[in-house]
Homo-oligomer: A and B are copies of this chain.
């Protein structure tokens, strides 16, 4: 756990100012107080004041997603959720789960037994046991990137995948690309399904038809690229859109191994804007999901559900990030 001194050093302010921020003194500004609290949460510091309401407990269940370090996708989602929840004096626990764990005990039973008022689900797969139970749960539950029909106790938070994929298609289209491939992430994922539909919709709205040789589902890891990118290249792709930045990193690597230069021969677009994106060679053009805001929106949605305001969906806008992995199409494409 961080000390007050470490928080003070991080922010470049005095220990006494940090102390005022943590204890709610009113002779520092509200903005500064909030910054101190947010930083304390981020650094793992917990005050007695934060802990005082032991009965106010929320939890985050996470699966299929890395979140331990700042360069991983789940890290900021959890951080954003905690920052927002702590402002309202909630205690937040994080539990990694797996399919076996979900088979052992019903979701509602587990929550009641542990005394949690509500939960935020991150990274669940459509076929998970608890996902099926959410159709009728009475526990306020917010889901990142998953949707449950008609249950007023459950809400969905995510990024608008339709706008994100459309931004990517539109960008390479404006650069003259017509042979546009899409290497999507895993099947059995609502997000993959949405992005696939979004790709079809956007190609159609740009007057392009989708060549099935230029579409594939892999997994949300870099290693996926080597199974599909060679086929895309053989089929004449000049631009490859990727389901996330890790797939894009693998795609860049795979193209280079086969003698294709990025972006001169092939343009590559990622999704997420993970910290790694800017360090790739070349730096990656991508679609940003603001993960801190996603986490905060997860909390706001959950808090609304707890107060019987039935928010079914909250969608954040994605942001198009132009870097150096995309360029005007070359015609004809130079093979390696």
Contact = CB atoms under 8 A, between A and B. Distances in A.
A167 B167 CA distance: 34
A173 interface: no
A286 to B, nearest CB: 16
A283 interface: no
Contacts of A193: none
Nearest to A313: B315
Interface stretch (A52-60, A90-98, A269-277, A292-300): A292-300
A314 interface: yes
Interface in A270-309: 290, 293, 296-297, 300, 309
A6 interface: no
A167 B152 CA distance: 13
Interface in A295-336: 296-297, 300, 309-317, 319
Contacts of A317: 150, 152, 310-312
Given A149-B163, A163-B149, A167-B150, A313 B312 contact: no
Contact of A314 (B152, B293, B313): B313
A166 B310 CA distance: 17
Interface in A233-286: none
Q: How large is the interface on A (under 10, 10 to 19, 20 to 34, 35 or more residues)?
A: 20 to 34
A160 interface: yes
A297 B311 CA distance: 9
Interface string A27-51: 0000000000000000000000000
A153 B38 CA distance: 25
B316 A315 contact: no
A221 to B, nearest CB: 28
A315 B311 contact: yes
Interface in A60-100: none
Contacts of A166: 150
